[in-house]
Amino acid sequence: MTVSNGSEANGHTTTRRSLPCGIYAPTMTFFDPETEELDIPTIKQHAERLAKAGLAGLVTMGSNGEAIHCTREEKVAVTRATREALDAAGFTTTPIIVGATEGSVKGTIELCKQSEAVGGDYVLLLPPSYFRPQMDEEAIVGYFTAVADESPLPIVLYNYPGAVAGIDMDSDLLIKLAEHPNIVGTKFTCGSTGKLTRVALATNAKTPSSEGSGYMAFGGICDFTVQTLVSGGSGIIAGGANVMPKVCVKVWNLYVEGKTEEAIALQKVLSRGDWFLTKAAIAGTKQAIQSYFGYGGYPRRPLKRLEKARIESIAEGIREAMEIEKSL
């Protein structure tokens, strides 16, 4: 199979940015601590910091971006602000993948179109799950096919069972969906390297050493970066890259450069530190950014704000990784 990595989608020839191999961050969405309104200046500041750290691309309005807490208008505003920030800082070729999942085919297509209008290059889509008993494989295939038929942006599938009532798309289904020319990748937040390996092999996924078909097989957590590379993966989309992007990039680059033992050693440090962020989720990741970079704030309610002792514990837990981050 050959995937058109963004040059054409549903008859629309574009100059869409390609998806390079490497590390991507699902960016946090920042809010005013009092009003909980979007903090656009901080959103832009964060996007610029991540791009300067060497990330291959950004994902707006994913799980870490609290998409579920944002209106459609806010999702569009965040993507627009991110594109503006990247362009203003000189990162005009850095692609943006937009989380554009809505419950219906119609709503998702509309958000895909709006995402394109404000500078999005690709969309990241979860399977529909609200009416879970009715979401069998036929319904899921129907949803993704209908959206892919109409979306002006190519689609990266998002396999994250924890966010969709346990729906876990297996490798057979993902390989079947990959036959659609407008479905160009999968993010494996399920953490299954075996599944990633099978899909990457069947799709001839892009790797640092081979363009392959152009299909992107993304690991979904930075604590299995080396494992993703070993499995024939294309990149990582990981929340930890919001906090320690340079360490994430260094692990990737060491392995690509053939420095396997160094990559594995640094992967262990990254995995140990990332666990503190994973356990503390969005609130903890934001506070880690606050502790080390002076901004971050809080999630929208009903997510709780962390107590001081927990914040200090997270900062201490990632200290080793952050000392390396600051040295790079």
Query: pLDDT per residue over 50-97, tens digit each?
Result: 999 999 999 999 999 999 999 999 999 999 999 999 999 999 999 999
Cα distance from N-terminal residue to C-terminal residue, the chain:
39
For the residues of 241-279, what is the DSSP string, one character each?
Answer: GGT-HHHHHHHHHHHHTT-HHHHHHHHHHHHHHHHHHHH
* Average pLDDT rounded to a whole number, residues 293-302: 98
* pLDDT band at residue 135 under the 50/70/90 scheme: confident
Mean pLDDT (the chain, rounded): 95
Catalytic residue among 187, 195, 206, 250: 187
Residue 4 has pLDDT above 60, yes or no: no
User: pTM (2 decimals)?
Assistant: 0.95
* pLDDT band at residue 196 under the 50/70/90 scheme: very high
Residue 6 has pLDDT above 70, yes or no: no
DSSP H/E element including 123: strand 122-125
Task: State the Rg of the chain over Cα.
Answer: 18
Query: pLDDT per residue over 221-276, tens digit each?
Result: 999 999 999 999 999 999 999 999 999 999 999 999 999 999 999 999 999 999 99
Q: Is the dihedral of CA 51, 57, 59, 63 positive or negative?
A: negative
The pLDDT assigned to 133 comes to 85
Q: Bigger pLDDT: 22 or 192? A: 22
* pLDDT band at residue 13 under the 50/70/90 scheme: very low
52: annotated active-site residue: no
Euclidean distance between CA atoms 122 and 135, whole angstroms: 24
